Structure 1
Amino acid sequence: MKPDPGPVVALAYSRLADSLRRGVYAAGSRLPGERDLAAQLGVSRATLRQALALLAEDGSITASAQRGWYVSRQVMAEPPSVLQSFSEMARSRGLRPSARILRQELRVASMDEASRLRVAPASRVVTVERLRGLDGVPVCTDVTVVVASRAPTLADLDLTDRSLYETLEDSFGVVIARSAYAVQAEAADDRLAALLDLAPGAPVLVGDEVAYDAEGVPVLLGRTVYRGDAYRFEADLYRPLS
């Protein structure tokens, strides 16, 4: 068991944790210096450091050598073997998903897209590109390419605050049952860095998927690019029985 931090440390911890929950200090921002923070809380710097250490243990803040304490960014984790949209994952963790539409258009599929979606060359697809956020903080961009014949009016719908999976099911009766998903690390280019508030060349994690309906027919292609500090992939791994 962890030792009791004592009432003064516990109170400082509680007040800081409440400030983080209320967004007094934004995700990714640096906390005030220890002297100022201790003065605001009315505690000694020794007490403050114990409270900060407790917040670091639960992942609320992180230390940066010589630069102080930073509020942790919300981390999106893929639950093992569960297929969820970004919005569904966010809501399941008590977070508020947001989106800004960067591009939404009806166009002709490329040869590669037509092949992966198993449609005829020059078939029509709907492309939706969005900047996604958690509690107002941008964490990823996603580009989704949907077979237009499966969702004829998708290009005209407002998808700002809607889950694409849920929209496909509710508006078009298309249920996503399975996704072939792969993740790899890349470096952010200038455009992506600007959108995600990163330095050009910063690490990002890229998830590519092909999503299928219950009959195994491809419905959409997806490419999601996460900040490296905002995404964790989890999986249960099993050894084959001999």
Structure 2
Amino acid sequence: MMNRPHYQQISDSIEAQIRSGALSVNSKLPSERQLSEAFSTTRVTLREALSRLEGKGLIYRANRRGWYITQGRIHYDPTQRLPFNEVITGQGRQPHTQVLAQQLAPAEPEVHQALGLAPLTPIHRVRRLRSVDGHPVLLEENHMNPLLFPGLENQDMSQSLTRLFEQQYQIRIATMALNMYPIALDSERAKALGMASGGAALFISRLSRDQHGRIIELDWEYWRHDALNIQMAV
């Protein structure tokens, strides 16, 4: 039997420490220099091992701060329009929402087309960073039809938009068209999620209609690839 490659031996060793609990959730791994010395290997080989662990969702890289042990994936059903806070607290985790931008302004052409609005029509746009247990996992960009949500720019956008639509505008999300695929993050979105440019993410696009069949919102979600476990009841 052939010996396992050195990078695999290293990744297996670190993985065993993680699964045994010796390396706790959210703890920081030693620096790459320290790990290279500990395993008597090169930085190139070590990074192969770390990339293998990252691919398994066991560690994540915080840009310029090193490698950390992941918290465990969130169980998420994108077909259920449940508020983020409810999804996270229901799994015994701590959610947090930071509003990065909130404006009434024109958007990308595909947004206008999806919402059925004329080019350059001002659209309600909200950009929010969602965290779990202090770790950013989701960058969300919401685009809403201004004709259906007058005064939305004055609302607290850190709350659940689903509940806001229902309580303030008597609008209920009835149906959704979903599109999901993996992407490499651009530098701006990667930075917001604490990742290096080109880092892997899952993109989810959700076009929502209300109880009257009107298109009300286009939601773009950028999830860290190591944050999510998709679960759907079919």
> TM-score by structure 2 length?
0.67
Q: Which residue of 2 aligns with 1:29?
A: 28
Unaligned runs of 5+ in 1: 1-15, 32-60, 238-242
Instruction: Say if 2:130 and 2:139, in contact at 8 Å, map to a contact too.
Output: yes
Task: Give the counterpart of 1:185 among 179, 182, 187.
Answer: 182
Distance 2:59 2:103 in 1: 43
The answer to whether 1:227 aligns with 2:224 is yes
Q: Which residue of 1 aligns with 2:115?
A: 117
Q: What is the root-mean-square deviation of aligned Cα atoms in Å? A: 3.0
Q: Could you tell me how far 1:101 is from its partner in structure 2?
A: 1.4
The superposition leaves residues 157-188 of structure 1 with CA deviations (integer Å, 9 ceiling, x where unpaired) of 2222x111111111221111221111111112
Q: Match for 1:163: what amino acid?
A: S
Q: Could you tell me how far 1:124 is from its partner in structure 2?
A: 3.2
Distance 2:233 2:143 in 1: 29
Q: Which residue of 1 aligns with 2:172?
A: 175
Q: Which residue of 1 aligns with 2:98?
A: 100
Distance 1:80 1:185 in 2: 15
Task: Give the counterpart of 1:212 among 190, 209, 212.
Answer: 209
Q: Match for 1:156: what amino acid?
A: N
Counterpart secondary structure, 1:113: helix
Structure 1 window deviating more from structure 2 (122-131 vs 110-119): it is 110-119
Counterpart secondary structure, 1:90: helix
Give the direction of change, closer, same or farther, for the CA distance of 1:222–1:141 in structure 2 (3 Å limit). Answer: same
- Percent identity of the aligned residues? 25
Counterpart secondary structure, 2:147: helix
Q: Which residue of 2 aligns with 1:79?
A: 77
Give the direction of change, closer, same or farther, for the CA distance of 1:121–1:187 in structure 2 (3 Å limit). Answer: closer
Q: Which residue of 1 aligns with 2:129?
A: 131
Distance 2:83 2:27 in 1: 24
Counterpart secondary structure, 1:83: coil
Counterpart secondary structure, 2:173: coil
Task: Give the counterpart of 1:155 among 153, 156, 160.
Answer: 153
Unaligned runs of 5+ in 2: 1-19, 31-56, 61-66
Give the direction of change, closer, same or farther, for the CA distance of 1:111–1:203 in structure 2 (3 Å limit). Answer: closer
Q: Could you tell me how far 1:70 is from its partner in structure 2?
A: 5.6
Q: Match for 1:135: what amino acid?
A: D
Q: Which residue of 2 aligns with 1:142?
A: 140
Counterpart secondary structure, 1:171: helix
Q: Which residue of 1 aligns with 2:161?
A: 164
Q: Which residue of 2 aligns with 1:5?
A: none
Q: Could you tell me how far 1:122 is from its partner in structure 2?
A: 4.3
Q: Could you tell me how far 1:236 is from its partner in structure 2?
A: 3.9
Q: In the comparison of the two structures, how many residue pairs are matched?
A: 183
The superposition leaves residues 101-149 of structure 1 with CA deviations (integer Å, 9 ceiling, x where unpaired) of 1110012355432331123444432000011111221101000001112
Instruction: Say if 2:171 and 2:211, in contact at 8 Å, map to a contact too.
Output: no
Larger radius of gyration: 1
Counterpart secondary structure, 1:165: helix
**Structure 2 counterparts to residues 36-51 of structure 1, below 5 A:** none
